[in-house]
Structure 1
Amino acid sequence: MPNFLLYEQNGPVVTLTMNEPARRNPLTGNTAVADFMEAIERIHSDRSVRAVILTGAGTAFSSGGDIKDMERQSNGSIGGMQIRHEYRTGIQRLPLALFNLEVPVIAAVNGAAIGAGMDLASMCDIRIASEHAKFAESFVKLGIIPGDGGAWLLPRLIGLSRASELSFTGEVIGAQQAADWGLVSRVVPADQLLETANELAAKIAANPPHAVRLTKRLLREAMHTRLDTLLEMAASFRALSHQTDDHREAVAAFLEKRTPVFKG
């Protein structure tokens, strides 16, 4: 079976493409989770990577969980504790891995992001959407609950009321409504989606990589920690930053009125 996830690197930017378009890029019933974990570990190990773009091949971003796999889980052939184990060692590894990945991840949502597919987009740091994108937190329609972090992520992205509306109704919203609700940063024509994502990635990659990585860590920790704890962490991160060559280069370039050259 070919890899579900294509890994392409252009300079400091890695593009990950979910590549099972005939099945609308599902996240279960295939090698998706293993491929994601391998790619994330590869990015962790490669200090040249400064930004990541995640998108889907074909007309969908990701259709979420595979229905045939859900049938296996519900037909009585395996027990509840086994299903629990499969979640914990399977798709639930994704939100933790993406949360802890220091390199910023841009979701370029090219089409439908449904169920776990919507949650996957929510795991990313930035979301931009094609005009053809649509989103649904659709678990309730199948008589199940968000099993991969959506109930934690969505309220923090769009507020409790809107997250509840999406989760309790399972209804689909379009790209513009997603933008109006703050789920995505912007909506662009379909043929400009990857170009826009790459432009954004290039702007991120142009900055000192240590500053971007530590800023992402602060933003992520701020989602669940106290202000005094975050300030203590920020003091430590600032102390580290002041000692870097890229910080010294930025200050020198500002004083000398020239463009800085950051080497990471």
Structure 2
Amino acid sequence: MRRPPANHFDERLVGGIVDAALALDDDPACRVIVLASQGKHFCAGADFGDGGGFDRDRVAVSERLYRRAARLFDVRTPIIAAVQGAAVGGGLGLACAADFRVAEASSRFVANFALLGFHQGFGLSVTLPDLVGRRAAADLLLTGRRVGGEEALRIGLADRLAEPGRVRETALAWAREIAAAAPLAVRSIRATLRADLPDRVRQALEHELVEQARLWRTADCAEGIAASLERRAPVFRGE
């Protein structure tokens, strides 16, 4: 991703990642994909400001984006996400779509949807509990709190912790370990372990989209997004 410093995503960026990953499935020279980004943050999620795409028909944009993103779970090549800085909201969803996540102590994982007033997306209803367990996932989703790299490693949200400034190098070194194994066996083992994950994600995505569309119409959601853009604490009234 080359949209520093925040690497906000949209339909074009997510679609480009999906298309590139699916194309690499057919390249015998590619045995592992490392998903990385330029700048301070891995991915700060959607840009709800002017020009971010989500300031217009949010429902239609999200439907196209998430249904296209679901194809990322069809990729047959192992994916390692190199997470420097923040992975927030949909950026967290993108990181959790990978098989593994490499972080550093200063990395931050944030499921901030409830603080914005709407439901989580990107299949996080499936991927986050799969990684950290149902109770820990509920804690992260209901509070929207930040999780640093060391806690992320402890709860299973991150898989390896790199030295400061060496997230990408650590992810590449891990990728080379996997790439040294028999590629047909790697894909076969991975497919067995993932089992029905793509189907579960697609089913969850449809529910997430319905809930997002409903909550985006609420006053609390308008307040949550406005407060985020204005960098202040939101005041929710349950309306």
The answer to whether the superposition gives a TM-score over 0.5 is: yes
**In the alignment, what sits opposite 1:88?**
63
> 1:26 corresponds to which letter in structure 2?
H
2-structure distance, mates of 1:67, 1:198: 32
Question: Which one of 48, 65, 82 corresponds to residue 29 of structure 2?
Answer: 48
- What secondary structure, in the 3-state scheme, does the structure 1 residue paired with 2:147 have? strand
Q: Say which structure, 1 or 2, has more relative contact order (CA 8 Å, 6+ apart).
A: 2
Deviations along 1:49-104, whole A, 9 cap, x unmatched? 1001111211100000111247624xxxx4xxxx444323213322x222211110
Give the conservation status (yes or no) of the 8 Å contact 1:21–1:59. yes
The equivalences for 1:131-170 within 5 A come to 131-170=105-144
Structure 2: tracts of 5 or more residues without a match: 200-239
TM-score (norm 1): 0.70
Give the conservation status (yes or no) of the 8 Å contact 1:40–1:97. no
Structure 1: tracts of 5 or more residues without a match: 1-17, 226-264
> 1:21 corresponds to which letter in structure 2?
P
Query: RMSD across aligned C-alpha pairs, in angstroms?
Result: 1.9
> 1:27 corresponds to which letter in structure 2?
F
1-structure distance, mates of 2:81, 2:8: 16
Residues 124 and 147 of structure 1: is their aligned pair in 2 closer, same or farther, counting only changes over 3 Å? Answer: same
> 1:92 corresponds to which letter in structure 2?
R
2-structure distance, mates of 1:171, 1:148: 18
1-structure distance, mates of 2:76, 2:108: 28
**In the alignment, what sits opposite 2:43?**
62
Question: Which one of 8, 16, 19 corresponds to residue 2 of structure 2?
Answer: 19
TM-aligned CA deviation for residue 207 of structure 1? 0.9
Residues 219 and 201 of structure 1: is their aligned pair in 2 closer, same or farther, counting only changes over 3 Å? Answer: same
Give the conservation status (yes or no) of the 8 Å contact 2:7–2:41. yes
Deviations along 1:143-182, whole A, 9 cap, x unmatched? 1111211111111110111100100011111000101111
The equivalences for 1:98-109 within 5 A come to 98-109=72-83
**In the alignment, what sits opposite 1:205?**
179
> 1:89 corresponds to which letter in structure 2?
R
**Same amino acid, percent of matched pairs:** 31
Q: Does 1:190 align with 2:164?
A: yes
Question: Which one of 18, 22, 32 corresponds to residue 13 of structure 2?
Answer: 32
> 1:43 corresponds to which letter in structure 2?
L
2-structure distance, mates of 1:177, 1:197: 19
Give the conservation status (yes or no) of the 8 Å contact 2:54–2:61. no
TM-aligned CA deviation for residue 141 of structure 1? 1.0
TM-score (norm 2): 0.77
